[in-house]
Amino acid sequence: MDAISGFFLDVLYYSYIKPHAAQRLGLALLLVLAVLLIYLTRRTARGSQPKLRELSAVVGLEASLGEGAPVGAKLHLGTGRAGLADSHAVETLVGIQAFGHLIKQAAAVGVPVIATAGDITTLPALENTALSGFEDTGNAALLRVDTTRFVAQDPVAYAAGVMRILNSEEVTTNVMLGSFGDEYLLMGETAAQRGIDQVVGSANPFVLPFAYATSKALLIGEEMFALAAYLQRRPTQLAGVVAQDWLRLIAVVATVLLALAASLGFVIT
């Protein structure tokens, strides 16, 4: 995949588009994105809901945290190894954003929540998200001191701590959204062996095979980044998902047209 991406970048930037032209095209693309976002946000706010592809993970989460949640059900939310100051911060923030909605749903039906962090910088954001979720549902009294937990900074130690939670605290639903490495298999296999419903989202291609083998619902790459829009259904979030789809279509069409121009000997300056 990296080789294919590299090939297209080489063709795009060095064969028929000069550097200054590429910069202008990039600026034009940003302007198009801004206009799309404004238009789609207003359109969605007026009640025109876009039709999004169904994600089985979203359906599974809503079923697990619905009105029929069994007595004794407990939800674990894991943000993984990354913090808010490293290269994988976006994955962590996406997970926390989605967790905000899940915590509200769990609090509304009285399902206890355990939210774990594998980086100390993530913990304050996780605590604030949990507090907001319980307060918004009027169940702030149900928020426990140990609802949010910093487990360990080391990835393997974090996995060991989550394994203990899955084994000893009667968790019925395990949601892992964030940045994970090889240590994920320890947590995923534990949940699978105990028959815990599991939803996993990761942008790491080396983790995806393990996640696929151990979970019933998997969010791959961009699906994880779109999860908050699926759950919260805010106009700005839905507009962002649709705008990205439109931009992909524009990029594909532009690539084909520019490839044809290159084959005919045209150079964009």
Start-to-end Cα distance in the chain: 29
Alpha helices in the chain (DSSP H): 2-10, 19-45, 56-64, 89-108, 123-136, 155-168, 184-193, 208-214, 222-225, 227-232, 235-263
Q: Give CA separation, 62 vs 19, 105, 112, in Å.
A: 48, 9, 16
pTM for this structure? 0.73
Structural domains of the chain ordered from first start: 2-49+234-263 (no CATH), 57-232 (3.40.50)
Q: How far apart are CA 194 and CA 174, in angstroms?
A: 11
Per-residue pLDDT in tens (0 to 9) along the chain, 269 residues: 444 444 455 555 545 555 566 566 667 777 777 777 777 777 777 776 667 777 766 766 666 665 445 566 788 999 988 888 888 888 888 889 888 888 888 888 888 899 999 999 999 999 999 998 888 888 777 788 889 999 999 999 999 999 999 998 888 889 998 889 889 999 999 999 998 888 888 888 888 888 888 887 888 877 788 777 777 677 777 777 777 777 778 778 877 877 787 777 765 55
